[in-house]
Every structure is written in C-alpha cells, then in structure tokens.
Chain A
Amino acid sequence: MDFRLTEDQRALRRGVRDLLEGRFDREALRAAVDAGGALDRALWRELGAAGFFALRVPEEDGGVGLGLPEAVLVFEEAGRALLPGPLVATHMAAGVVPGAAEGDVVVTAVEEGLVPWLDEADAVVGDASGAVPMRSVDPLTPLHRVPGNAGATALEAVLLTAAEQVGSAERTTEAAVSHAREREQFGQVIGGFQAVKHLCAGMLVRTELARAAVRAASLTVDPVEIAGAKLLADEAATGNARDCLQVHGGMGFTWEADVHLHLKRAWVRAELRLPAARAEEAVAAGL
C-alpha cells in the first residue's frame, strides 16, 4: 500500500495545472463571468486535444487510456481553476457521443431535475423536455429546471464532481491563507490572530479529509465510499468558500473577489450530483 501519488500522477497534475494557468488564468475567468455564460469553444477543443475528455477512453479507441484515479487528479485541477462548462458530463460521454472525446461536441446531462449549459450544449444525456430556464446563482453555470427528478447519476460522475469540490476547497484555503499573511490590522498581519488562524486550520482539515476520501474512492470505486466522499467534498468546498469569505472581510463580499464564484459553483455541484441528504442515506444504508 502506498497512498502517495506516483511520479506519473504528479507529472499529470503539474501538466494540467500549467495548461489551465496558461489558458484559463484569473483574467480569463473574469472575462468568462463578464461574457455571461457563453462557453469558450476554442478552450473546449484545447481541453479535448490535451486529453481532458478522452482520459479514460482506452488507447485502442484513440483515448489516453488512464483510470479513475488520474481523472480525479485532473478534475481537482479543474475545480481549482473554476473551469466552466459541463466538464463531467462531456468526460462521461467521451467514447459514447461522437466528438465528445475530442472536445468538438459539448455534452450536458439532466441531473437532479437540473440541466446546466443547456443552450450551449450540442447533446443532452437524459430527457430535457419541458426545460425552463432559471436565473442561475452561479454566473458561470447557466441552469434549466426540468420536471420530475430524472435518473440516477453514474458513480464516476459523482466522484469527479467531488474531485472538483476538493480542488475548489484547496484553492479557497490558499486564498484565505495568502490574504491572512498580507492584510494588516492592529499593527500585525491578521494571520497572527488565532481566530483567523483557526479558521484557516479548519479549512485545511476539511480539504484533507475530503481529498483522502475522494482519492481512496477512486481506487476502490465502492458506491458507499463514493457517496461519503461526495458528502465530505461538498462540505469542504462550501464550508471553505464561506470561511475564505470571512477571512477576506468586506472585500470578500464584493463581486470583484473570486470567493463568491467558488461558493456559488460549490453550491451548484453539491446540488447537481448526489446531494447531501441522499449521500448520507446511502452511507447509512451501508452500516
């Protein structure tokens, strides 16, 4: 047993981080927000070319041929960067819906009575008839509501969503810590105050707990473990975004700070695939 990442896995993570930092930095993120929910097709194709969607498609079928543990690392990075779009649905459709693997086609899915990115998608998994647009709380995830509570979500999709939550939780921890090291009040940096320090420590603990759960579940692919991982990852992403906002004070409450984008996306992801009540029931049923 060795729970550490292999050299290849570290390299993969570094590669994805570099790609996203180069292609979807903060400026691009804010530009996407200003664009109001239009998907950047060029970026989508670049992600496709980098193997983002074809990651788990077997090599003989033209994919990258890696497994769920690697996909989890990639989606952690996507979550860090707040990369928009129906990433998980398109990834799941790769090898099934033509063009999805290459990033030529955008695929979304109906989940928990919601469809993200419906207007931008080229294909929809599930029945989106009767979809009604809503004013999405997340400026980077347009949402439609559909009648009825459609279909069970694939386990892998739940886990990859959890991985995005872990990435977001990690990012908001870093943001809180770096702000706490710079902002001065009462003649010292606020990171020296225990009340602030303890918020930050709590953020790290939530992240590490969720990360351990998500990565282990990517190896066992056990349904109960995946449900538990989603539960803890949702809590880490939403809880950390809130604490990050608190550490930023008044600045945290502004549109300019990115904190609210993390919080809103975390809310969407928490609701979209296996929300807390059902995740808790799933884990309880395993007792």
Chain B
Amino acid sequence: MDLSCTDEEEEFRARLKAWLTRELPGLPPKPDPLDWPARRAYDCGWQRRLYDAGYADVQWDASPTQRLIFLEETELAGAPYVGANFVGLLHAGPTIAAEGTPEQRARWLPPVLRGDEVWCQGFSEPGAGSDLASLRTRAVRDGDAYVVTGQKIWTSHAEVADWCELLVRTDPDAPSRHRGITWLAMPMDAPGITVRPLRTLAGSAEFAEVFLDEVRVPVENRVGEENDGWRVTMVTLSFERGTAFVGEVVACRRLLGELARTARKNGTWDDPVLRRRLGRLSAEFQALWRIVQANVSEAQATGGVPGAGGSVFKLHYSHARQELYEAAAAVLGPDALDLGRDWTLDRLSSLSYTIAAGTSQIQRNIVAERILGLPKGR
C-alpha cells in the first residue's frame, strides 16, 4: 500500500495546476444547462483546450495515478465537467481502446480526444432496460453493411452526437439471448435515423428516443466479433460503472466544502444535527475516493479493465450523492426551491443516479452474484 506520488507525478500535478490557474479565468461563460447544442459547443471547446495543452490523452494513456491526479486537480479547480463527451471519453472510447482494431482506434479515438466528435450510448430499449440482454433492435447483414431496424430509448444527448455505441441483435436464433448481440459504431447522420427528444423531470431534453429504420452501418464499424457483443458490452459497462464517475467524487467533495461555507454564513451550521450530517457525508466521499484508488490499483494490476468493484463504488456513490443534495436543501432552505440555482437543477439530476448505468437493485444483484457468489434466482 502506497498512496504517495513519484516526483514525476508531482511535477505533472504542479504543471497541470499552473495551467488550470491560467486557463480557467479565460473560459467563456457557462451555457444554459437546458440548451444541449450550446453545451456541446462549450464542452467540446474545453476538450479542445485540454487537447492543445497536451492533457486530453491523460484519460487513456497515462498511468492510473496520473489520471487520478488529473481528475482531482481539474475538479478541485472547478474546471468544466466532461458533459457531452461523457460517453466518448469515459466508456465508448475506453471500449474501443480495449477491444477495437488498430484501424478502429485510429479512426475514432483522436476525434474524441480533440473534442471534434461526440458519442452517445444506444443500449436501452423500451422493452430492455435492466434486462438489457432482451434487446430486440435487429441488424441483418447485407453485403458490407448491417441493416438496422428498431428503437432505442433514454439515449443521452443523442441530438448532438456524431456516433452511437449501438447494441443490436444479429442472431435471433442464438442458443442464449446473450450470444446473438453485436456492438456497432453507428454514425448518427445515417439515413433512417430519427431522434425524438424526451423531456426529463428537470425540464431539459437531455435524452431522446432514437428510431432506426433500415439504417446501414458498415460491417467495418463492428467492434469485436459478430454475436460477441455481450462480452464487449460488459467491458463498456465496467468502464461506465468503474471509472466514469470517478471525477464526480472530487466534485462532491468540493460541493460539500461550498455547502459548509454557506451553512456557516447563514447560521444553519449551528444546528448540530445538520452539521453532523455534513460530517458524515464528508467521511463517505473521502472513503469513496479511497475506493476509487483501490479499484484503479486493482484494474491496473489485472489488465486495465475495472472489475465488479465498480458496482460497489457505484452503489454507494449514487446514494451518497443524492444524500448530498438532500443535505443541501436543508442548508439552503427556501432557496432550494429556486430553479435558477445550480443546486436545484443538480438535485433534480441526481435522482437519476440510482437508475442510470444500471439501477441500484441491479448493482446489488451483481455484487451478490459476482462478488459474493450467491446463486442467480428470484
């Protein structure tokens, strides 16, 4: 066990901090959170700055420690969130890096790093949410293309995406439903795609329904083998649960600090019950950050793909983050009802954390079955 950083890593941290101090004041104002095209432009602009300064590939190529330093320092400095680049940078990209051919890596990874291309995730369907393997969107081989027909749902920022990591059924007669699935990279401007935005409870069109009507996707866009998509999907999900939320833990620690300052100013800090509640949350986020370090160390030692430990993290993180906003509401009082405050919108968004990327119930099944070895059952 060793939590210390090498001289080289500390140098990296110092360089990054200095760069953030110079760069952040010059950023354009944050866009309206309900305006996705503006958010895409803003998020990609930030990604481009990271790229030009040589920090973009930290997400993939650097040592795990460097990556954690990057996430820690950017979040502590209050740098923009990955936002529209979430899927590309945090799970589609890592999946292609782990499972793609050299040509696929060369085609798709650099534009993500440069902030030129945005990805979305087309996994869920109206009839296949928690039970993802029951998906029905069909892909039929026709020469050098798959012809895809079906419907996806809850596709986050589909409206502004260039690519979609798409799960399709290529063999409806496979002996097990897990075996007939294939992972494709679908260009979002292909003919036959209709995106219909869905309004979230926060009022924004953050996700969408995606209708697919005989969309032609080149066979060369297939990552992994035909009918081997479930295995590739497990890689994607392990990144989604294992590492994608890592930076947000630091953001939570920063938010908690902000909350404590507000509480000290408005007098709510004098309430010992509330104060202790904030103390408990602080201990939890600190411990979550330590779990991240443990998971990343483990993944590093076993080949780079995070294991089921990601579910342990995701379960507690999503719960603690919701608790954070409940505590915030207690500190803010009537202000917590003001939609003009970031806190209020974020509180609404946080309601999705125990659902998106696999519900808490599903994560508990995974922990019980894959880590504790309990039988599958009812």
What is the interface of chain A, defined by CB distance below 8 A to chain B? 1-6, 9, 69, 173, 177, 180-181, 188-189, 191-194, 196-198, 200-202, 204-205, 208-210, 212-213, 215-216, 218-220, 224-225, 227-229, 231-232, 277, 279-287
Q: Are B3 and A1 in contact (CB under 8 A)?
A: yes
Mask for B1-43, Cβ within 8 A of A = 1, else 0? 1111100010000000000000000000000000000000000
Contact flag A197-B279 (CB < 8 Å), given A180-B374, A191-B375, A212-B287: no
Complex CA gap A188/B375 in Å reads 10
Complex CA gap A189/B371 in Å reads 17
Question: Within the complex, what minimum Cβ distance (angstroms) separates A73 from chain B?
Answer: 9
Report 25 cross-chain contacts, Cβ distance below 8 Å, ordered by A residue.
Answer: A1-B5, A2-B1, A2-B297, A3-B2, A3-B293, A4-B294, A69-B1, A191-B377, A192-B377, A192-B378, A194-B365, A194-B378, A197-B374, A201-B363, A212-B287, A212-B291, A213-B283, A225-B286, A227-B283, A232-B284, A232-B287, A280-B279, A281-B275, A287-B257, A287-B282
Complex CA gap A251/B248 in Å reads 43
Q: Are B290 and A204 in contact (CB under 8 A)?
A: no
Shortest Cβ distance from A208 into B: residue: B312
Q: Are B374 and A228 in contact (CB under 8 A)?
A: no
Q: Are B312 and A205 in contact (CB under 8 A)?
A: yes
Complex CA gap A191/B275 in Å reads 39
Interface status of B141 (Cβ within 8 A of chain A): no
Shortest Cβ distance from B4 into A: residue: A1
What is the interface of chain B, defined by CB distance below 8 A to chain A? 1-5, 9, 64-65, 68, 256-257, 260, 272, 275-280, 282-284, 286-288, 290-291, 293-294, 296-298, 300-301, 309, 312, 315-316, 361, 363-365, 367-369, 371-378
Q: Are B375 and A192 in contact (CB under 8 A)?
A: yes
Complex CA gap A134/B301 in Å reads 51
Complex CA gap A211/B189 in Å reads 48
Q: Are A231 and B373 in contact (CB under 8 A)?
A: no
Shortest Cβ distance from B5 into A: residue: A1
Question: Within the complex, what minimum Cβ distance (angstroms) separates A17 from chain B?
Answer: 18
Complex CA gap A35/B231 in Å reads 56
Partner of A4, one of B1, B288, B361, B363: B1
Partner of A213, one of B257, B287, B377: B287
Q: Are A177 and B378 in contact (CB under 8 A)?
A: no
Contact flag A280-B290 (CB < 8 Å), given A180-B374, A198-B368: no
Q: Are B65 and A1 in contact (CB under 8 A)?
A: yes
Shortest Cβ distance from B260 into A: residue: A287
Complex CA gap A1/B298 in Å reads 11
Q: Which chain A positions have C-beta within 8 A of B300? A: 2
Q: Are A192 and B376 in contact (CB under 8 A)?
A: yes
Instruction: Identify the 3 closest CB pairs spanning chains A and B, nearest first.
Output: A192-B377, A228-B283, A284-B279
Q: Which chain A positions have C-beta within 8 A of B316? A: 205, 209
- The secondary structure that dominates the B interface is helix
Complex CA gap A137/B378 in Å reads 38
Contact flag A193-B1 (CB < 8 Å), given A212-B291, A281-B279: no
Shortest Cβ distance from A186 into B: residue: B378
Q: Are A212 and B290 in contact (CB under 8 A)?
A: yes
Q: Are B368 and A201 in contact (CB under 8 A)?
A: yes
Complex CA gap A281/B277 in Å reads 9
Complex CA gap A108/B257 in Å reads 39
Question: Within the complex, what minimum Cβ distance (angstroms) separates A218 from chain B?
Answer: 8
Shortest Cβ distance from A73 into B: residue: B1
Shortest Cβ distance from B288 into A: residue: A209
Q: Are A284 and B275 in contact (CB under 8 A)?
A: yes
Contact flag A228-B282 (CB < 8 Å), given A200-B374, A208-B291: yes
Q: Are A189 and B315 in contact (CB under 8 A)?
A: no
Partner of B283, one of A3, A202, A283: A283
Complex CA gap A245/B350 in Å reads 33
Q: Which chain A positions have C-beta within 8 A of B312? A: 204-205, 208-209
Partner of B294, one of A193, A212, A277, A286: A212
Q: Are A209 and B291 in contact (CB under 8 A)?
A: yes
Q: Which chain A positions have C-beta within 8 A of B4? A: 1
Q: Are A6 and B256 in contact (CB under 8 A)?
A: no
Q: Which chain B positions have C-beta within 8 A of A205? A: 312, 315-316, 367
Q: Which chain B positions have C-beta within 8 A of A5? A: 1
Partner of A197, one of B1, B257, B297, B369: B369
Q: Are B375 and A181 in contact (CB under 8 A)?
A: yes
Q: Are B282 and A197 in contact (CB under 8 A)?
A: no
Complex CA gap A205/B9 in Å reads 31
Q: Are A1 and B364 in contact (CB under 8 A)?
A: no
Question: Within the complex, what minimum Cβ distance (angstroms) separates A205 from chain B?
Answer: 5
Partner of B1, one of A181, A200, A215, A287: A215
Question: Within the complex, what minimum Cβ distance (angstroms) separates B259 from chain A?
Answer: 8
Shortest Cβ distance from B376 into A: residue: A192
Q: Which chain A positions have C-beta within 8 A of B373? A: 177, 181
Shortest Cβ distance from B314 into A: residue: A205
Q: Which chain A positions have C-beta within 8 A of B294? A: 3-4, 212
Complex CA gap A284/B300 in Å reads 33
List 5 additional contacts besides A197-B368, A197-B374; criterion CB under 8 Å.
Answer: A2-B1, A201-B365, A201-B372, A213-B283, A231-B283
Partner of B375, one of A2, A189, A213, A285: A189
Question: Within the complex, what minimum Cβ distance (angstroms) separates B323 from chain A?
Answer: 14
